[in-house]
Amino acid sequence: MVQSPVAPTAPREMTWEEFVADDSGTFVEWVSGRAYPMMSVSSEHSRVTTFLLHLLGSFVDFHGAGAVYADPFVMRLGPGLSGRSPDVMVVRTEHAERIGTQFLDGPADVAVEVISPVSAATDRGEKYYEYETAGIPEYWLIDPQRKVAEFYRLDAAGVYRLVPAADGVFRSDVLPGFFLRVAWLWERPRLADAERELGLR
């Protein structure tokens, strides 16, 4: 998730209602009755997140396909489930009723986590299984440090399967027509050039 640098704060026990009402700007995720604080991220993490946020935003806006949100907007995965804040998430138009004033009430259609050293275990572990259980159709895991991108898609049984990026290109099922050249994540292309290749200009 894209997080703001703040002084270290310990997780705090609170109800979901208390978490949503909290306006301190300190806490960003809610898991098992505890609110977890924001932490700083690297410049590369921020750069990759910003690129994806703008590219996906341009695509869904051009096609009228939905809306794109970024951390710290919270996604409540479902009744009794966690409130997570992916770095980037896409909500398709047909699920717009899930978008509330303070949080997304239900799963996004695409969740993107940009891995940092402190988040790797959570992104690959807890969040992976939580997003799978909640039924998020696509989960993208981007690791700028290792220059690795993994794309998971739910199969008919509701289990995530790794989708190969054929010839270095990932094509989304959730967003028909959208593709991502994995090299874009590391090579720092101009956003306008990527948009042009996607037919957005």
pLDDT tens, 82-107?
A: 899 999 999 999 999 999 999 999 99
Output 29 or 75, whichever has higher pLDDT: 75
d(CA 16, CA 84): 12
> Does residue 192 lie within any of the structural domains?
yes
Instruction: Specify whether the CB–CB gap between 77 and 108 falls below 8 A.
Output: no
Identify the CATH number of the domain in which residue 52 sits: 3.90.1570.10
> Does residue 19 lie within any of the structural domains?
no
User: Residue 3 pLDDT > 80, yes or no?
Assistant: no
> Does residue 23 lie within any of the structural domains?
no
pTM greater than 0.85:
yes
> Does residue 191 lie within any of the structural domains?
yes
> Does residue 81 lie within any of the structural domains?
yes
d(CA 140, CA 150): 6
User: Residue 26 pLDDT > 80, yes or no?
Assistant: no
Q: What is the domain count for the chain?
A: 1
Share of residues in the chain with pLDDT > 90 (%): 70
End-to-end CA distance of the chain: 29
> Does residue 13 lie within any of the structural domains?
no
> Does residue 27 lie within any of the structural domains?
no
> Does residue 65 lie within any of the structural domains?
yes
The model's pLDDT over 128-155, given as tens digits with 9 standing for 90+, comes to 999 999 999 999 999 999 999 999 999 9
**Phi, psi angles (nearest 5°) of residue 52:** -65, -40
| Alpha helices, H only, 64-110 | none
Which residues span the domain enclosing 182? 41-197
